Structure 1
């Protein structure tokens, strides 16, 4: 018996060997080479401590990934399939389904991956979402704009990490962009939405046996889609327990999970990451929700909040292993409360020659620090909203205290970083 892990991430945040030390079988990993080197990792030689490790150039060739995954599943008698990257949850579900394995199958996962289907289900449940359409061609996109006005947001129905997302601010910009994306033929893989003003919140947590076992809300202090041009520090903060938004966000997320979950379905144990707009007029508008743990350093922030890594517990829940630090609250039906407030500060990569980088902070309230570059290196622009130059997780007793610390740390990062554009 083995677990097959589809791994489109660097290895450092995912110590599967430690997380699954008590798994009664082998760990088989199919990994993407292009997610290792940009994060400063050496490509492993040998099996890296796993029963088997295989590294592909990237995961863009889905037929190749599927063929290799099927071969490994046959060779190693795979019983469980794990995938933490948004781009791989459908493939993982399909592998489980075709082999009749435990866990979510394709129909369980699809409402969390297809943004149009997701919005349809959410609307049916009375949850507010942005107005949207799936334009087949430029004419349909322009007609939608005539009804709603601008700005509008165009993105892929199955996109992730804000890659390819475009905010269109007027008719000329829409006309020009639509002429490019619909140049070859009609298509149905894009979704066009009204722009929702306000701050983006997110709720992260874990579902066990079909019920939310733990969850907590945070609020981005920046625009996710600005990863390509914003060189400054980007702060993300948890909400205090007594914040009026906390209960509202947790309640809305539970309603969304219920709306997308199939009755008697197989999606019973999984992490989740919900993104929700809080508008200037105090409405909550569901942007989207994923059935896997959040990216960036959400998993590590969760460790500061509750004492365990969200990625670890989602992995263990998915293969049927115990979750010891969650057992007391699951037994008595209480909601786990955070040990402290926490957050993360990030800086994105930007193209150029690296002259200087932040020093490792020695503040006692800095829980973790990461640096994904080195002095003398020439780096490209960020490829998505999770392509960081540096990041840190910090804690404090209150959200206000945490924000003050993170902003101070971010200012230091900015002052200590010098990247010179190449001629």
Structure 2
């Protein structure tokens, strides 16, 4: 019998499914997207290198090609589980489980996490505060929404991830230009859009793991930058965990717990909830996903609690032991340290020189560079088009921030770009 792992987005070597699941009795089969492998400059691992079978499925992104291969492999080898940890694979994996009669998250459970309109309706009905929003079917829907709630107007695909497709329209002129150039009512079906009232304030996030239907670990962080600016922002994108004594920490944990009670999640899953903290000290839901957060959030959670959230989630789905302490009397485990991440986005230019190794400092926990000398970069197209990522630890939020800014200055001092 076999376990099939789907992998559509990101580095396949950064998520060693074969090692994570090595103690499972079934073979591990890996199906990956060849276009993604080309984008990240990787080859699919060879069959027999820890995986019983691997395949870069031609047409992975197209409807039907991946599903056909999974069904064929189920007939040939027998399949007990279909696993997926990336946002764009969640619905397809759920549909395959339903079709094949396999355990795990089903379509009715994944939909509220993927469809932002359904998500916000569920949350609002349970008393969780959400921004005013409206599903968009026609251009007049956007115009009437702007007339009622004013500017800025936030537009996003109902099922997007990684800030892809997010637009913030600041003025009536920007809305007019959007409707003239980018809003195509008569394209491929009705627009897959939701409009939201702009919520001022800092964007926080709570990341953790649900195991056996209960929250096993969770901790909040706060972005120090606007997520939607990834294509134009070449400055430091810093994200910091909140100190245990910060009153906002416990309010965010309670907010996330209430939200998890509302959402029809499966027994085991990682989660990433984004929450606005407004200038008038209110918490407002942005959205929640039933997967690990992006950038270096997986590493952040791993440092906080000594357990990789994606590995723990997938192992829990298979009934394997998970290195996460059980919550004691409804008290979640405390983090072992404070930490934070720095992301620098790709920007146009030819790389002449770039630091390839981190300084020998004990508090630098992770350092990764995504370009090499001679490579020509374009502006970031998605929020995961990284130039480098850095993760550091410290005793407090302020110490972590100071260390991240120190590393940023060192890295930029060694980066040489040729631009025209």
Q: Indicate the residue corresponding to 1:287 in structure 2.
A: 286
Residues 85-234 of structure 1 correspond to what in structure 2 (within 5 A)? 85-179=86-180, 180-185=182-187, 187-234=190-237
Q: Indicate the residue corresponding to 1:4 in structure 2.
A: 4
Residues 388-399 of structure 1 correspond to what in structure 2 (within 5 A)? 388-399=386-397
- The Cα shift of 1:62 comes to 2.6
Mean Cα deviation higher: 112-121 or 128-137: 128-137
- The Cα shift of 1:308 comes to 1.5
- The Cα shift of 1:57 comes to 5.1
Mean Cα deviation higher: 352-361 or 13-22: 352-361
- The Cα shift of 1:47 comes to 5.1
Aligned 8 A contact 1:348 1:388 in 2: yes
Taking a change above 3 Å as real, the CA distance of residues 254 and 322 of structure 1, as seen in their structure-2 partners, is same
- TM-score of the superposition, structure 1-length normalised? 0.94
SS state at 2:136 partner: coil
Q: Indicate the residue corresponding to 1:35 in structure 2.
A: 36
Q: Indicate the residue corresponding to 2:310 in structure 1.
A: 311
Q: Distance in 1 between matches of 2:386 and 2:378?
A: 11
Q: Indicate the residue corresponding to 1:64 in structure 2.
A: 65
Q: Distance in 1 between matches of 2:12 and 2:201?
A: 35
Q: Which ranges in structure 2 are unaligned for 5 or more consecutive residues?
A: none
Taking a change above 3 Å as real, the CA distance of residues 59 and 192 of structure 1, as seen in their structure-2 partners, is farther
1:83-120: per-residue Cα shift (whole Å, max 9, x none)?
Answer: 11111111111111111111110001100000000000
Q: Distance in 1 between matches of 2:410 and 2:286?
A: 32
SS state at 1:253 partner: helix
- The Cα shift of 1:294 comes to 1.2
Q: Distance in 1 between matches of 2:283 and 2:310?
A: 27
SS state at 2:230 partner: helix
Aligned 8 A contact 1:154 1:166 in 2: yes
- The Cα shift of 1:42 comes to 3.7
- The Cα shift of 1:45 comes to 4.4
Aligned 8 A contact 2:276 2:285 in 1: yes
SS state at 2:261 partner: helix
- TM-score of the superposition, structure 2-length normalised? 0.95
Q: Distance in 1 between matches of 2:59 and 2:272?
A: 24
Q: Which ranges in structure 1 are unaligned for 5 or more consecutive residues?
A: none
Taking a change above 3 Å as real, the CA distance of residues 280 and 58 of structure 1, as seen in their structure-2 partners, is farther
| Alignment match of 2:343 (pick from 342, 346, 352) | 346
Mean Cα deviation higher: 89-98 or 186-195: 186-195
The one of the two structures with greater contact order (alpha-carbon pairs below 8 A, sep at least 6) is: 1
Q: Distance in 2 between matches of 1:34 and 1:368?
A: 27
Aligned 8 A contact 1:359 1:416 in 2: no
- The Cα shift of 1:330 comes to 4.0
Mean Cα deviation higher: 196-205 or 68-77: 68-77
1:202-248: per-residue Cα shift (whole Å, max 9, x none)?
Answer: 11100011111110111111111111001122111111111111111
Q: Distance in 1 between matches of 2:41 and 2:355?
A: 16
Report the number of matched residues.
416
1:252 aligns with 2:250: no
Q: Distance in 1 between matches of 2:13 and 2:237?
A: 22
Q: Distance in 1 between matches of 2:74 and 2:227?
A: 36
Aligned 8 A contact 1:272 1:289 in 2: yes
Q: Distance in 2 between matches of 1:244 and 1:387?
A: 34
- The Cα shift of 1:198 comes to 1.1
